[in-house]
Structure formats: C-alpha cells, structure tokens
Amino acid sequence: MTIAENMNDWRLLRRFRKLLNEIGPIAIGLGVIVWMVLVFRVLGAPDADYGNFISVAERLIAGDRLYADVYENKDPLLHYFFASSRIFSPLGFWFLSILYLLLGSLAVWLIGRASGLIARTAFIAAFIATPIVMTGASFFPGSSHIPAVAFVLLAFAAAIRGKWIFAGSLVAVVCALKLILFPMALLVVLVAMVLTSKRPRNLFHSFVGFVATASILYFVVFIRGELEPYLNNLKMNLTYSQSATDAGQGLSAVRIHFDSVMNLNNQISFLAIAAILFWPIAVVGWRVVGIKSNQDVINFQLFAGATIAVFYSLAVIGITGLWGHHALVFIVPACIGFVLFLKVSPIPIARGYPATLPLIFVLSILLAGMPSASGYLDDLLFARAKISGLMEPGNQAKAIIETGPPTSYARVGNGRDGGHGFGLSDWTLECPKFAQEIWESGEILSLTAECLPLANVILITKDVGFQESYPEWNAFVNSVDEIVSNGYACELEDVGRVCRRVGT
C-alpha cells in the first residue's frame, strides 16, 4: 500500500469519526435500538403474500417462466429480487427486506443532507424515523410496497441532488418493481426538475437514464418469454381491484375503496402527514411560495414533492385500494414531509437536541399509524419460530411429497399459501395460477379447471368449499370435485385433500 493510499484511508476514517461526533452518541444509540427491533419486524413467516412469493421464487429457480408457467400478479422485478435472494438461503428475503429499509433510510439521509439538515437531524430523520414509518401499523413482511417506496425515495433524492440520469434510471426500476407507483416516482422527479435551471438538459438526461434502464429490464422479461403474459396480467389487474370488493361504479366505488383502506391507523398516519405539511406553510408561508433563495427552492421541492405524493396516494387508494396495507403508499410523503418539517422547525428540533428526541420519536410513531407495542414484542418473541419455519418445506409441500415420486402437480386453494413451492423443485407445476379467490370471475377460475386434469397430484386445501353469493366460485368447486372423482385417489390430510392419479 502506497503512502498516498494510506493518507486517503486516514482521511476517510477522520471524516467518518467527525460525522459520528456530529451525530452524537444519544442519536446513534437510539438508532441502534430501533434497528435491533425492526430487523425482526421484517422477518416474516411463510403465509399470505410472503408464502406466495416463496412459491413463485422456488418455481423461478426451478426454471419456470413468470406469468406463463407460474402466476402471481405482482410486477416482475419484485419476483426477480425475491428469487435471487432465495438462491443463497431460505432466509435470503429477510436480508433483502433489511436492505430495502436501508435503501429507504439512505434516500432520506441524502434528501436531508441535500436540503441542508445537519448530520444529527438528517440521521434522526433517515435512520430512526424512516424505518419506523416504513414498518408502521399497515406493514407486513413481504409487502410489495416497501421496496417500491424505497426506490421512489431514492429517485427523489437523486433528483434534488441533480443526478438526473440516475433519477431516470430509478424511475424505470420503480416501473418494473411496482407499476402503480411509477407515476408517483415520475411526478416527484419532475417536481424537482421544474424548480431547477437548464430544464431541457435535465429532462433529456433523465429520459436517457429511464429509457436505458427500462430497455434492459424489459428486455430480460422479453427474452425469458414473459412479456406477453405480463401484459395480459396487467389487463387482469385492471379488474381485480373492483371484483375483490364488489366496488360498483363511480363515487360509490371510491367510497368503498377508502372504507376498505382507511382504518383508524391509516387515518392517524394521514392526519400526521397533513400536520407536518401544514407546519411549513404556517412557518415559512410566503417564502415557500416566493422562492427567493436556493433554500427556498429546496423547501419548495420538498413541499411540492410531498404534497403531490399525498394526492397521488389518495387517488391510488380511491381507485384501487383493497386492504389496509395499501396505505403504505403514504410512506413517501411522510418521509419527505418529515425532512421539511425538521428544516423549518424551531432550532432545538431542527438541530435534534436530546430533549426533543421524544417529540420526534412520537411524531414518527404517529406517521407510522400508531402500530401497537404488542406487535413489536411478538416480532421478537416469535423470531426463532419464524426462522425455523422458513428453513424447511411447509406442510402443504410435505403432503404433496409424501404421495410418491416427483411428477406433475397443481394446487387449488386461496391466497394464504404457506410457501408450498419450497421443496418441490423436482416437480412440474401444471396450473400456473396456484392460488384462487372466491371473488374471481368464472373466466379466470376456468383456466385452473381446464389444466387440473393434466396434473398427477392435486392439492385441494381445506379452505376450498361452497360460498354463499359466489355462484361462479361454487361452479369451480364442483368442477374440481368432479375432476378428482375420476381416476384420482384422495387422502384427507391436515392441509386438505391430496389426490394422486391412480397408477402414477
């Protein structure tokens, strides 16, 4: 190692020590405690969406094509990331989830520092408040919103720091990761752009970054033979949010969507966001509108970015919202607005004095929708059981394996999949859509009914049964029973009926 290299290492070390001194031991200590709790909050058990993602990942690793050979309606990059993490370990997604939190926190750190926050306050916003908000009351492990909001925040951070090519690339990542948040990413980047000089050049650079990255991502989807089925999936998603709630039409549908999503926790989160966005108006008022200095430009970038993100979030919820976790789109305006709130707050808060940390912590909890303390405790208490459950195949997979040598199989059951694909890499999935819901149309259900006779083993989970007011579902259940009654031998297990074709 040369003398120059030694000098550079010492400079980096001194800068890092100086940064730690600026942040201070109290803020760092609180951050460590928060992260020690939250790393277990993002550890999930194989169930619901998390279980579905496990099964899809295992099929992708086995060589299946997304949407064509194995079906799940989320966007391709989400499944690629998940499958890539499981190549290394069944716990891979746990570490990937921690990485998503780190990326979101890093984005807020960059936003805070670019906006003029001192190191201590930026650290509090980024590494204490942000992970609390990202894992709030509506959070559940495996939520597809979390990686998307992290990349939206990164795109906004790149934009306000003038990294236009990088900002455009990150918008493309959001497009392939969570399409419904693509407009939000695009809007917050444009907000940052129109408030700076040299707009045509900035727009061109962002466009180049977007096109280059999107071309690479969707070329991968194309060469894997997944593009056409993915486009068909998008068409199905257009009607999914309406059929799942019997939402009706017009304002009635909007009201039902809001009723489905805006529970008490999410109402608290929304009101907290509104409060922190009202505060800058009350404090800096004319300066936010007047834009008389570089700091005014940054203030307006933050205010406009957060405000547009709020309105877009409300629009998404009103049009497509189904369940409480869909309010996780509020994370973006909450984090951006929190930075602006700290910027224009009185000096003790703006400088992150220790006496103000309880107030900042309480505000973070409000932005997170006031998650219950018992939830955090349960995350710690059941961590070992969750890890154990992720390390080996679940009961559904075991029930299929125990029928005999590997062959073709299909699963009939609702979306609360326990990760049945784990352990079945030597088997062939005959019916791509392995999870069905009672509200789905007869056209969609018939796709599964048509391919079931091709499977030598059919798992019919115990939740499959007749449902009042769902005639198309009941017709599907009848067709499943008719199929397995001809040439299949069925055994009743704890997970449901496991039927194997006689002679296979």
pLDDT (tens digit per residue) in 110-141: 999 998 899 999 999 999 999 999 999 999 99
Q: How many domains is the chain built from?
A: 2
Q: What span, in angstroms and rounded, lies between the C-alpha atoms of 124 and 117? A: 10
End-to-end Cα, the chain, rounded Å: 66
Q: Is residue 166 part of a domain?
A: yes
Residues 320 and 404 in one domain: no
Q: Which two tokens stand for residue 105?
A: 């926190």
Given 358, 381, 404, the domain boundary residue is 381
> Is residue 298 in a domain?
yes
Residues 403 and 268 in one domain: no
The model carries a pTM of 0.92
Report helix, strand or coil for 475: helix
Give kind and range of the element (H or E) at residue 371. none
CB neighbourhood size of 126 (10 A)? 27
Both 131 and 238 in a single domain? yes
How many percent of the chain have pLDDT more than 90? Answer: 68
Domain ends where: 353, 381, 409?
A: 381
Average pLDDT of the chain, as a whole number: 89
Span 351-360, pLDDT tens digits: 888 888 999 9
> Are 428 and 361 in a shared domain?
no
pLDDT at 240 over 70: no
Q: What is the pLDDT of residue 319?
A: 86
CA distance 268 to 263: 9
Looking at 381, 415, 450, which one is the last position of a domain? 381
**C-alpha angle 146/181/254, rounded to 5°?**
105
pLDDT confidence tier of residue 10, bands split at 50, 70 and 90: low
Structure confidence at residue 322 as a pLDDT band (50, 70, 90) = confident
* 167, part of any domain: yes
Confidence label for 286 from pLDDT (cuts 50, 70 and 90):
very low
Predicted confidence band of residue 320 (pLDDT cuts 50, 70, 90)? confident
Whether residue 346 is found in the same domain as residue 404 = no
What tens digit of pLDDT does each residue of 71-99 get? Answer: 999 999 999 999 999 999 999 999 999 99
Least confident of 139-143, 345-349, 455-459, 495-499: 345-349
Whether residue 60 is contained in a domain is answered as no
User: What gap in Å lies between CA 385 and CA 248, rounded to an integer?
Assistant: 42
Residues 245-258, mean pLDDT to the nearest whole number: 70
Q: What's the confidence (pLDDT) of residue 493?
A: 92
CB 156 within 8 A of CB 305: yes
pLDDT (tens digit, 9 = 90+) per residue, 166-216? 999 999 999 999 999 999 999 999 988 887 755 678 888 999 999 999 999
**Quick one: pLDDT at residue 224?**
95
Range of weakest confidence among 276-285, 344-353, 453-462, 477-486: 276-285
Regarding whether 444 and 412 lie in a shared domain, the answer is: yes
143 in the same domain as 37:
yes
Asked whether residue 139 is domain-assigned, the answer is yes
- Domain co-membership, 476 together with 333: no
Q: What mean pLDDT is predicted for residues 425-435?
A: 95
Query: What does the pLDDT read at residue 288?
Result: 47
Structural domain including 206 reads: 3-41+73-381
| pLDDT value for 457 | 97
